[in-house]
Amino acid sequence: MSTATIVIVGPTAVGKTKLSIDLAKRLNSEIINGDAFQVYRGMDIGTAKISKEEAEGVPHHLIDICRPEQPYTAADYQQDARRVIEKIRLEGKPPILVGGTGFYIKAALFDYQFSSTGANPAYRRQLEQIAECKGKGVLFERLKQVDPVAAKRIHPNNLVRVIRALEVYHETGKPFSLQESDETVRPLYPYLCIGLSMNRQLLYRRINERVDQMIREGLVDEVHELYTRGLKDAQAMQAIGYKEFIPYFEGRTTREASVEQLKKNSRHYAKRQFTWFKRQMSVDWFDMSDALVNFDAKSEEIYRFVLRKLDEHSDS
């Protein structure tokens, strides 16, 4: 069997976890986390981290590998993911990379070169202080002025990447968007990418229901525990599912309003995920709407497709 990496992508709540477990069991393979925030310990409910029971004995990698106060970058993930991919391939199995953080997944698979180009720790701290005093929006507006292309690619709330883009421009005089251009970047490993989609109204309903379930499971207490540890400004707390409750803890809004904001942010994020994967990677899409009625049939369809693709990779 080919050891081409199987990538499963798609928006939150579309069914990536369940499908990945089924494929991994059929292929006797292992799963690599492709979510930027499941790497953090203590962030279980809000990231929909898989439980031991749900994993059904399938080995999972790059989950709970660092503390929430510890910075963890795309470059760190690239190094860790490639190490695991190579390990699984050497065992003669196709790795299964699963998640919704497109930039991390692409960094693992493609020949992206992360370097210290434009690094200026002092300037970076200056920008961080501006964000703390005046808000993230001030930096994002500055980015739109100097690099509108990067501003379209980077979400306004992604402070780490906004600061990085401004830092590169400040030091090199060249837009960050030119330096991160991936027109010449090629994949390091053979891979096939399965994208999961769903009727939008159905997906949004599932997202809302998932948030309600997270609340019942104790999400607010999970976030509060991190907040009381002084991690309000940590990179990990920028995750959807966590940042929404900070105004509630600080008495600036209600619990109910924070929950509604979380649902709204999750729906918007799902839309951005669809857009990113459709533009950035070659993906074979499968509509999971009917999987809610007959998961086994949909899983069998995708499994047969994966086998054909793996055979093609073996012949090439």
Exposure letters 215-244 (e unless 16+ CB within 10 A, then b): eeeebbebbeebbeeebeebbbbbbbbbbb
314, 190 contact by CB (below 8 A): no
Closest alpha carbon to 291 in 217, 191, 194? 194
253 is in an annotated binding site: no
Cα–chain center distance at 270 = 11
For tokens 């500055």, the residue is: 142
59 is in an annotated binding site: no
Closest alpha carbon to 6 in 96, 78, 105? 96
91, 26 contact by CB (below 8 A): no
Distance CA 222, CA 227 (A): 9
User: Residue 11, CB half-sphere, CA atoms under 13 Å: how many?
Assistant: 26
175 is in an annotated binding site: no
34 is in an annotated binding site: no
For tokens 């991919």, the residue is: 85
191-197, strands of its sheet edge to edge: 60-61, 31-33, 96-98, 5-9, 191-197, 284-287
42 is in an annotated binding site: no
5 is in an annotated binding site: no
CB proximity list for 183: less than 8 A, separation 6 or greater: none
Task: Summarize the annotated binding site for substrate as residue ranges.
Answer: 12-17
Task: Summarize the annotated binding site as residue ranges.
Answer: 10-17
Task: Summarize the annotated binding site for ATP as residue ranges.
Answer: 10-17
